[in-house]
Amino acid sequence: MAIVSFQLDPNAGSQTGDQIVTAINGASSAITRASSVSAAARPIGAGEVDNTALAATAAKDNLDALADTARGYIKTAPTTGEFPVVNVQRDAAGNLDVDYDNVAI
């Protein structure tokens, strides 16, 4: 697993989906497919928490349960064959810079 990034230039003009994919795959870190990984996680049930450590996904599950406009962060929901986005920012050149895990779900 490695974190890689790409940039989208809002001033680049209109491109087809194929042109965008070709540009991204031609970048220094091409997107590749990986085998599927199944995650077994569930929210914590009422009265289930004591003084032991919480499950690794407990905080995420609680935040994800909030309404979209109440969360305060951008949530991504990649499915099989898609790549998890880990960071989004606008770079110094004014382009949208997206960092993502180069291993698909």
47 within a domain of the structure (yes/no): no
**Looking at the 3D structure of the chain, how many domains does it have?**
1
27 within a domain of the structure (yes/no): yes
Lowest-confidence region among 13-17, 34-38, 84-88, 101-105: 34-38
pTM above 0.85, yes or no: no
30 within a domain of the structure (yes/no): yes
Q: In which domain, by residue range, is 94 found?
A: 1-41+54-105
CA distances from 78 to 10, 17, 44 (A): 24, 18, 22
How confident is the model over 31-85, as pLDDT tens digits?
Answer: 444 333 333 555 555 665 566 666 778 888 888 888 877 877 777 888 899 888 8
Would the pLDDT of 25 be above 60? yes
Tokens of 51: 């003084």
16 within a domain of the structure (yes/no): yes
Q: Are 44 and 61 in contact (CB under 8 A)?
A: yes
49 within a domain of the structure (yes/no): no
CA gap 5, 61 in Å, rounded: 26
